[in-house]
Chain A
Amino acid sequence: MNTQVRVEAQRSIPTAIDYKVYHDPEVFAAEQRNVFKGRTWCYLGLEAEIPNAGDFRTSHVGETPVVLVRGQEDKVFAWVNRCAHKGATVCRSLRGNQADGAFVCVYHQWAYDSEGTLVGVPFRRGMKGVGGYDKDFDPANHSLEKLRVESYKGMVFGTFSSEIEPLEDFLGPVMRKYIDRVFQRPIKVLGYSRQYMAGNWKLYSENSRDSYHGALLHLFYPTFGIYRQSQDSAGELAEQGFHNVFTVSKPKGDIDYTSFGDEANREMQGATKLQDERLLQFRPEIDDDVGLHIQSLFPNVVLQQIQNTLATRQIVTLGPDKTELVWTYFGYADDDEETTRHRLRNLNLVGPSGLISMEDGEAVELCQQGTIGAEGKFNFIEMGGDDVREYYAPMGMDENAVRGFWKGYLELMGDALSASTAEVPA
């Protein structure tokens, strides 16, 4: 048979993205420039992780290693963890305290202060008049690469961009309102987990904005006879489209899941009873009934409150198919021991072993594996329409926020994401 095909250039649009964006090393490199080092504020960590002068933690902006430090005057700084001499990693620990505020590269002992300014070079004048740097050598020109740093409610962000608007404007009023909600009182860090996915960071970014999969991929609730779709839910997007938040309010009255059973294709077992209901217990502690708050802030963090779990999930892009998710769990500073234990019990629901969410790691890898060799083929993101709306309720069966992600992403990438050729029936 002689089927004719013609080759046509096709561009990715928010409802149809070329699968090559998950695999192409050139796209990945362009993202590092245009997204992570471009006009965005990237999440670096929580102020509560570095409460004292000299406290530091290593972090990432995209693939670039950076260090977040609290300086002597309580100001927080961030710099690229790359020695200005020969590029060695300067700070080699995950976290700690540098009491004297000096970070010394082990290789030739160049020393930097907490702001990242070069403050000491051994044998700068040489030894016994031999060697040393030229007299024109000016340490001021050899500091670590510094980021602009701003915090909002204890979430610290950094940027490489000199033109970007202030952090508060980048987040916008809607996102700020929800950040305020979680950070209504001082927090304390409860710990970390790190989850490594053999998949592209955007697959995870889509996943956290995808309300369609929630009740279909994650079957913990229906398995135990708890179907949550009948609750009040809403989705809101920031103006740029790429930040979003989902909220679901605490169930009112009985919940039934028959409508779910009719629609879903995976077989539903008869409800099993939970042996220990403390696992799911929810104690409203913010002045509303919201039991689930998942907020994705472009490009690299998710802020969540699910039941009584509070966490940030930082996305680290280590390669086109290598993504690390750093979970930072926290509670409120005034939690008593019993409250902390309750949070630990709730934490079973989320994270790399999360009973209601572990499937996300698998979904990312499945999409990565499935799209190998699929350059020029496109996904299909039209659940709930083909537009991007700033508010929608209920938020369930809609890919609005995924389209919002792509809208913002494509704008930042501009021409860097060149058109692909696709085979189209003639």
Chain B
Amino acid sequence: MTIADPVLQGLIDSLNAAYGLCLDDGRLEDWPEFFVEDCLYQVIARENVDNGLPAAVMYCDSKGMLVDRVVALRQANVFPEHFSRHLISRAVVTGSEGNTVTAEASYAVLQTRNDGETRIFNAGKYVDRFLVEDGAARLVSRTCVYDTHRIATLLATPI
């Protein structure tokens, strides 16, 4: 395997780390800013991906839709109070063309509800496409392919 450009690697890993912390700190309003305007974000079961089936539990194909999710979470949706904690692996860069880079990284999202116990809520991998511009990376698409196909209660906070 080839070693990815360390600058590129650093850009992507930094974005992933900041992305995880943004959600875990509850700064949901900042989360859409990791994406370009014309983006795709989806959370889909690995059993669907492996069988060529497209249904996702979240499917947002515009930044506006990400904002709508955040507004709904803040104002409308009812879910167990919780903290999330993202553990994200170093990214593996799978390709690059012009200023578009593709990469994958493993993640585990731990969840702590009011009973105080921390459980593995969702484990899987990010399959990503980034736009690298002006020394920064932004997400063109992020597909969260989750192994944990039995979702505990419900999945409210983005992965």
Contacts and interface: CB of A to CB of B under 8 A. Distances in A.
B17 interface: no
Nearest to B71: A272
Interface stretch (A13-21, A34-42, A104-112, A352-360): A352-360
A169 to B, nearest CB: 33
A interface: dominant SS: mixed
B99 interface: no
Given A223-B75, A353-B58, A196 B151 contact: yes
Contacts, number: 135
A347 B77 contact: no
Interface string B60-92: 111111011101100111111000000000000
Contact of B55 (A192, A279, A355, A358): A192
Interface stretch (B23-31, B42-50, B124-132, B134-142): B42-50
B80 A219 contact: no
A192 B53 contact: yes
A275 B53 contact: no
B95 to A, nearest CB: 24
Most chain A Cβ neighbours within 10 Å, of B43, B58, B149: B58
Contact of B78 (A194, A269, A278, A359): A359
A198 B55 contact: no
B154 interface: yes
A223 B80 contact: no
B114 to A, nearest CB: 11
Given A223-B72, A352-B151, A361-B154, A344 B56 contact: yes
B64 A276 contact: yes
Most chain B Cβ neighbours within 10 Å, of A222, A274, A341: A274
Interface string A311-353: 0000000000000100001000000000011001101100111
B155 A192 contact: no
A362 B78 contact: yes
Nearest to B48: A191
A223 B72 CA distance: 7
Contact of A197 (B61, B76, B153): B153
Contacts of B155: 352-353, 358
A130 interface: no
Contacts of A219: 75-78
Interface of B: 43-45, 47-48, 51, 53-65, 67-69, 71-72, 75-80, 149-156
Given A224-B68, A359-B154, A362-B78, 9 more contacts: A191-B53, A192-B45, A194-B149, A196-B152, A197-B153, A198-B153, A223-B76, A276-B62, A348-B59
Interface of A: 94-95, 189-198, 217-220, 222-224, 269, 272, 274-276, 278-279, 324, 329, 340-341, 344-345, 347-348, 351-353, 355, 358-359, 361-363, 365
The 6 A-B residue pairs with the shortest CB-CB distance, nearest first, are A191-B55, A275-B64, A191-B53, A276-B64, A191-B48, A223-B76
5 contacts: A195-B150, A224-B72, A275-B67, A276-B65, A365-B153
